[in-house]
């Protein structure tokens, strides 16, 4: 499964600084495993990191967003 990074900062989140160094907005990342509120992804430096799901969107999330814009 792959996810796309949609943001690197969130208000009040302690990991925002780390995420901004590990992720690139608009880049797709391979998901190794899925937790209840995080994805384990291979980040820019090539290692695995557990990062909040709020930084990413799945293909299904993007599909739903586009359909809602069209009013479907």
Q: What domains are there in the chain, each with its CATH number?
A: 2-70 (2.30.30)
Q: What are phi and psi of 55, to 5 degrees?
A: -80, -10
Average pLDDT rounded to a whole number, residues 12-23:
69
Q: Quick check: 11 pLDDT over 70?
A: no
Q: Quick check: 15 pLDDT over 60?
A: no
Q: What is the pLDDT of residue 21?
A: 82
Q: What is the pLDDT of residue 22?
A: 87
pTM over 0.75: yes
Q: What is the pLDDT of residue 72?
A: 79
Average pLDDT rounded to a whole number, residues 21-31:
92
């Amino acid at each position: 499964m792959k996810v796309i990074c949609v943001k690197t900062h969130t208000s009040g989140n302690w990991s925002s600084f780390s995420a901004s160094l590990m992720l690139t907005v608009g880049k797709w990342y391979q998901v190794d495993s899925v937790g209840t509120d995080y994805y384990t992804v291979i980040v820019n430096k090539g290692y695995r990191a557990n990062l909040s799901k709020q930084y990413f969107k799945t293909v299904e999330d993007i599909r739903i967003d586009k359909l809602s814009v069209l009013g479907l």
